[in-house]
Amino acid sequence: MINFFTLFYTLILLILNPITLNLIFHNKMYGQIFTPALIIFDLIIFLLAYLTFKNKNKLDSIIVFFSFIILIVICEVAAGKFMYGKKNSFDVIFKEPVFFEDEKQNFRQKYYKCALKKADYYHKLYFFSAPKNLDCGGWSTIKSKNGPWVRNTINLSDQSNENNIWFFGGSTMYNGALSDKDTIPSLVSKKLNLSDKKFYVENFGIGGLDLHYEVNNFFNLLRFSKNKPEIVVFYDGYNDIFNKIRHGGEFFIFNFSQSLMYDQNNFYKSIYFFSEFVSDYSVIYKNTLGKKIKKFNIERLRQNKKKFSIQEISEDFINSIKFANDLAKNHKIEVYFFLQPAPFSRKNPVGIEALHHKTEEANFAREIYENISTNIDLKNFYDISNIFDNYSEQFFYDYAHLSRKGNLVISEKIFEILNRNINQ
């Protein structure tokens, strides 16, 4: 007679095998490591099913089953330590000649051992759901008086101070790979203090956001903020182009969540949410089958994305600037718009920057930047996309992000413009 344990193992074997998974997920469950690992897992499950089937002693079957459970627990613990201790994409990034040694050391000591485990910055879907309770000795979030949890900024002026500056931007503003003291808002804050300008600075940057989402967040903050800012800074350009090229014109996390909400395929939607639930409790699952199921759903829901022309992308960016400008004027707030630099906008890319400079998308992006700069006529708009052209060294460690080395140059320029106008 087939006992419960044999049926349990057989059921797992019927579901978690390469043939069944590829039938369910349209041949998207494969990979150089994934498929062999899955086959080895299936062989172990088959062996356990065979052992429990042949063994008539119920106690032995129970011992085999709980040995399997203990093995899974041990593997999960080992995988957790391995995932946060192994060399990964960040180690590849830190090989780029743009980081100071203290950045690398602090990152490994604080970010790897604390922040990476406490918060997944890109897991949160909405503006007011930024990671809470993140305090990792240099990588932290704080509760803003305006509502949301925001990336901590080094301030030398008290939060009750009436003079406030809000910074908006994407991941280059949030800057998750750098410590609190090295973000653009922190560096500007320190420069203002050294020049005896007392401002409380807040960093409302969020990875993936483009300008029209930031303007929406600016509007919502103004609705209930008791202490409105005197100055607002928007630092954008990259996401405004590539969210449209790659994600159908929407902030990619929001777009994905919206697509799921209106998804008519309840089967795949149910599998996705169940997979995400399991991923919260299993490091191994999250980084194997869970990752592939998530990728499958993202690709499935991306199929009908709209194609945008150079003119459409430029007009959307310019219209967002005009709307934010009008909003700021109505509240008597000074607002500044900076067109951010990226490897595609450098005339003299160095190292890895050259790889991101010569792609077809980079050519498209350069035309959009040129179109924006030509067609916008505002005194508070600053095109700093060529700010690194007078330097001979590398500044970007990937397609858009900067280390402290690059942030020092950007923050100096922003401070120079703010300081000049504050003194007027």
Q: What is the chain's alpha carbon radius of gyration, rounded to the nearest angstrom?
A: 25
Domain extents for the chain?
4-83, 92-249+307-422, 250-301
Mapped onto helix, strand or coil, the DSSP state of residue 42 is: helix
Q: Return the top range by mean pLDDT from 65-74, 180-189, 220-229, 294-303.
A: 180-189
pLDDT at 38 over 90: yes
Output DSSP code: residue 167.
E
pLDDT at 121: 44
Strands of the sheet containing 231-236, edge to edge, are 141-143, 149-151, 200-203, 164-169, 231-236, 334-339, 381-383
Q: Which residue has the higher pLDDT, 256 or 11?
A: 11
**Token pair of 41, please?**
């897992």
pLDDT at 159 over 70: no
Q: What is the pTM of this model?
A: 0.82
Nearest in space to 411 (alpha carbons), one of 176, 185, 155, 175: 185
Q: What is the pLDDT of residues 196-209, one digit of tens each?
A: 888 999 999 988 89
pLDDT at 110: 77
Residues with Cβ within 8 Å of 295's Cβ and at least 6 positions away in sequence, in order, are 28
Tell me how far apart the alpha carbons of residues 380 and 328 are, in angstroms, rounded to a whole number. 12
Phi, psi of 185 (to 5 degrees): -60, -40
Query: CA 112 from chain center: how many Å?
Result: 16
**Token pair of 264, please?**
């008519």
Q: What is the pLDDT of residues 103-152, one digit of tens each?
A: 888 877 777 777 766 665 444 433 444 556 677 888 888 888 888 888 89
Span 242-269, average pLDDT: 82
Mean pLDDT, the chain, as a whole number?
87
pLDDT at 120: 55
Output DSSP code: residue 303.
T
Residue 219 near residue 335 (C-beta atoms within 8 A): no
CATH placement of domain 92-249+307-422: 3.40.50.1110
State the pLDDT confidence band at 19, using cuts at 50, 70 and 90: very high
Mapped onto helix, strand or coil, the DSSP state of residue 164 is: strand
Tell me how far apart the alpha carbons of residues 280 and 261 are, in angstroms, rounded to a whole number. 20
**Token pair of 338, please?**
């900076």
232: how many CB neighbours lie within 10 A of its CB?
25
Question: What's the distance, Cα to Cα, between the start and end of the chain in Å?
Answer: 89
Tell me how far apart the alpha carbons of residues 366 and 213 are, in angstroms, rounded to a whole number. 22
Span 73-100, average pLDDT: 78
**Token pair of 219, please?**
């509007």
What is the number of residues in the chain?
Answer: 424
Span 417-424, average pLDDT: 85
What are the beta bridge partners of residue 202? 166
360: how many CB neighbours lie within 10 A of its CB?
7
pLDDT at 119: 60
Nearest in space to 308 (alpha carbons), one of 296, 317, 298: 317
pLDDT at 338 over 50: yes
Residues with Cβ within 8 Å of 336's Cβ and at least 6 positions away in sequence, in order, are 231, 232, 233, 234, 380, 382, 414, 417, 418
What are the beta bridge partners of residue 169? 235
Tell me how far apart the alpha carbons of residues 72 and 226 are, in angstroms, rounded to a whole number. 52
Residue 184 near residue 235 (C-beta atoms within 8 A): yes
DSSP for 357-414 reads: HSSHHHHHHHHHHHHHHHH---TTEEE-TTTTTT--S--BSSSS-B-HHHHHHHHHHH
Residue 308 near residue 365 (C-beta atoms within 8 A): no
